[in-house]
Every structure is written in structure tokens, then in C-alpha cells.
Amino acid sequence: MLYLKAVILGIIEGLTEFLPISSTGHLIIAGHFLDFNGAKAETFDIVIQLGAILAVIFLYKNTFIDLFFPNFSQEKKQKKFKGLYGIWLLFLTTLPGGILGLLSHHYIKKYLFSPYTVAWALGVGALFILTVEHFCPKHKIVDLNQITSKNAFLVGCFQCLALWPGFSRSAATILGGMLLGMQRKLAAKYSFLAAVPIMFAATFYDLLKNYSLFSINDFIILGIGFITSFISAWYAIKGFIYLLEKITLKPFAYYRLIVATLILLFIT
């Protein structure tokens, strides 16, 4: 049963991590139904994010190659999303959430990892989506190369909202990017890229802190969750980018409101 639970949770993580519906929230709810709770379960939920992160790295491998192995033979003086400048932008986006997450990690796990708090986060996030979609300014930033240090840092400030499980890191960063003038599809792409450093940091921090909780057999279960998360995230990202060419984020807001209502009615 543990192997089956790992597969189910891995699929849920991969499908929801990069959609604006909160992977952590869905994993908490799924853990409630699967009777998969406690400190070990919470760490499992965080560690299998690595599979979803790997899917981003593979799908946007050329962008990451430009970050670490940039070609400086052309446009040397122009700021581009590559090399040290691109890494600097991702660092600025990671900084606010990293600091706040480190300071509040214990309290978040103690007080916010419950179906009740997730339901409220889903609802508040849904209203945020609908508000931004209605009042969002015209898109002036349509390319990664137009993103400035100020844009990157402010997106990172919005990312702090995701420390409330159920709000969604993807929703926070995409909406933050849109409010700053990014095209919806570009905001989503930058959200995916910005997920890599902060999710790596959160995953390894939690794993190192709770390493002693796991046995060899537990690491096999983690591996199963990792693989299923990678596969489902791959398809989720490609499907989401395709949908953003045709629809707004409003359907995801309605979905969040429905799920939040069901949680408050039947779980809490």
C-alpha cells in the first residue's frame, strides 16, 4: 500500500506543482484521505518535488545551458537572461521566500499543514486570480530578456505568499509577474524557472533536517514518488503552456473555489 500511495502522491505532485492550484495543498488533502500524515509524510511531500523540478530542467534545458554556459561572443554589453545576469535574476526571485521560509519553517509546518488552512488558502488564492485577471495591466514584458532586477525581486516577494500551503507558488509568481506587466505565458515560464532554486533549497533543507526519519525502504518509496512526479510534471507543464495560449487563469480559480468549498464541507 505504501508503494501505491507513493505513486498516487507522485502523480498529484507532478500534475499540480506548476498549475496555479497548489501542489502542497492537494498533497495535504490526499494525505488526509490516504492516511499518510505526520513528519515523515510532510518531508516526503517536499522531497518528491525534485522530480517535478527535474522536468522543468529537461524541458527548458537550453535556457539553463545559457545560464551556466553562456555564449559571450555576441551582444556582450546587452543584459540577457543568461550567464551571471540570469543567475542573479533567479537569485533575487529566490531571496525573499528563502529568507522568510527559513525563519518561519517550524511555524508553517506546525500551524498551516491542515485541510482547514489549505481550504482558506485555496479560496483566497482564487479571489486573487480573478482580481488580477480582471484588473491586470497591459502586457509590456513579452520576453525573458526584458525582465529586470526589480521585476525579479518583486516576483520573489509575491512568491512569499506560497509559504501558506494551498496558496500555490505557481499562482503567486505568475500573478505577480502579470501585475508587473509580464505576458501571461511568459509569467508562467519565468515561474517554472524560478521554481528550481527555491524548491531545491526547500527540498534539501527539509531532507537534511529529517534524514533520520527514513530507512532504506523509505528511500525506495521516495524514489517511486520522484519518478512519477517527474513524468506527470512533464506532461502538466506542456499542457499548461498550451492552454495559456487559449484561456485565462479563471478556470483554475473556479476549480480552487470548488475544492475549497468541498474541503470545508466534508473534511474539516
Which among 80, 77, 102, 97 has a CA at the least distance from the CA of 89?
A: 80
Q: Is 39 a domain residue?
A: yes
- Look up the pTM and report it: 0.89
Q: Is 73 a domain residue?
A: no
Count structural domains, the chain: 1
Q: Is 75 a domain residue?
A: no
Q: Is 113 a domain residue?
A: yes
Q: Is 71 a domain residue?
A: no
Q: Is 111 a domain residue?
A: yes
Determine the structural domain holding residue 251 and report its residue range.
2-66+80-266
Instruction: Read off φ and ψ for residue 110, nearest 5 degrees.
Output: -80, -40
Q: Is 164 a domain residue?
A: yes
Specify the pLDDT at position 73. Answer: 46
Q: What angle do CA 106, 107, 110 make, to 5 degrees?
A: 90
Q: Is 123 a domain residue?
A: yes
Reading the chain (268 residues) residue by residue, the pLDDT tens digits are 788 999 999 999 999 999 999 998 899 899 888 988 877 787 888 888 889 999 999 999 999 999 988 775 455 555 688 889 999 999 999 999 989 988 997 888 788 888 999 999 999 999 999 999 998 877 889 999 999 999 999 999 999 999 999 999 999 999 999 999 999 999 999 999 999 998 888 888 877 877 777 777 788 888 999 999 999 999 999 999 999 989 999 999 999 999 999 999 987 5
